[in-house]
Structure 1
């Protein structure tokens, strides 16, 4: 038992060191600092996004970035019948998971946001299931991320940003 405890303490210490490195990296990067203001985006997500998307000009618009992350509905359309299914799950699974889990956290805090963003969140939370609302918010955050990375501006929850 003592060996397992020592191993657990060692893993915990390594995790703390890794978190300190991520925090330092995030604080030293200007793009990370800008996107940290988005509800549901933390230091781990910010550094992962900046590492995976060094140039936002790769994407035509925010919708393309959301599609690249697999945060858009799959289509099974034929003729004049359009059928939308669950998310496509294409792209980077790790980034998609970080964005969706961050969105879940932001949904629990939406009552504290008294701006356009908070109003949108509350409306989605009322009309959709928790999972669908989390994916919708992750999609919105991906589009906002693209806008912030492309333009170099700061997040403003009072305006409809990054929906292109």
Structure 2
């Protein structure tokens, strides 16, 4: 007899359900959301052919932990699971969700997703932290400008020493404003130090990575873009064709077809939003700042003359993603000709 299991995971507890080939519930329980605890609970039932759970914040840790313990775990797309679970039970409870996931594991009606390695998630965390800190820096600077302009002082847009000097002079001798300015400037200095520390780590990681050094031979691709792309792809072999990376990053047109209706819209914007932004910025740099001869740039400029510059940037970003994936997969460098 074959058995299948479904795991409904939360931060503290995981509900487990084991069913047989006929769909009859064989074993149920709940335990702590840790790989060892889940494995111990599953050991009380016969060995399962497939163990299914949804994507989420706990998915990477549990997937790699349970895989290391020798369990046949599969992580599935949460949006598909949500639609399926709505039709399997009237009431949404953790117990019913675990039962529904077990039924999906039994029938095979699911879409498995690739769970990135923990080092790739660590790089992604570093990039996200940098983005949040840069956003905080911009917010603090805008707040400083907003406070100063009330008193008729327009601070420079450039991030220079004059920015701080004028901000302090504007608030000097004004009770309340002086303390507010000093507090905001102190916070901005701390954020700038944190961003500089993260940039140093990114530079070090990109320098020791052969894959990142190869990607940085592409005009417009810097350390941050190269490192983010290697983390987003993780395993180049999981894409059968390099052009599939465009759909994975949401850089292909969205399409809706039903009967006589066949609508092609803007890009789907699914996948890693930050990676999509970095590729767009790299394409813009190649089009506006790179002065050397480059067939890829000429192709994009010709597209811009037929359509718009925005569409040319998107198309070039998609082409860059395809080229970068091929470089990672085959270990080659960029050829400008």
- Fold shared per TM-score above 0.5: yes
Q: How does 1:1-164 map to 2 (within 5 A)?
A: 1-79=181-259, 82-110=262-290, 112-158=291-337
C-alpha distance in 1 between matches for 2:297 and 2:310: 18
Write the distance in 1 (CA, Å) between the matches of 2:200 and 2:226.
14
- What's the offset of the Cα at 1:114? 0.9
Per-residue Cα deviation, 1:91-145 (whole angstroms, up to 9, x for no partner): 11111111112212222125x1313223213212322322211110110001001
- Structure 1 CA distance, aligned partners of 2:304 and 2:204? 34
Aligned residues of 1:31 and 1:149 also touching (Cα < 8 A):
yes
8 A contact 1:40–1:99 mirrored in 2: no
Judged with a 3 Å threshold, the aligned counterparts in structure 2 of structure 1 residues 143 and 23 are, in CA distance, closer, same or farther, namely same
Alpha-carbon distance in 2 for matches of 1:108, 1:127: 18
* 1:101/1:120 CA distance change after superposition, 3 Å: same
Give the structure, 1 or 2, with the largest relative contact order (CA under 8 Å, sep 6 or more). 1
More strand by share: 2
Q: If the length of structure 2 is used for normalisation, what is the TM-score?
A: 0.44
1:15 and 1:142 map into 2 onto residues whose CA distance is 26
Following superposition, which runs of at least 4 residues in structure 1 exceed 6 angstroms of deviation? none
Partner of residue 162, structure 1: none
Q: Which runs of 5+ in 1 are unaligned?
A: 159-164
SS of 2:293's equivalent in the other structure is: coil
Residue deviations 1:38-88, cap 9 Å, x none? 223211111111112221110011221110000001112234664321001
Q: Which has the higher helix share?
A: 1
Distance across 1 between alignment mates of 2:199 and 2:237: 30
When normalised by structure 1's length, the TM-score is 0.88
Closer, same or farther in 2 for the Cα pair 1:152/1:126, shift >3 Å? same
Q: 1:12 and 1:29, CA in 2 relative to 1: closer, same or farther beyond 3 A?
A: same
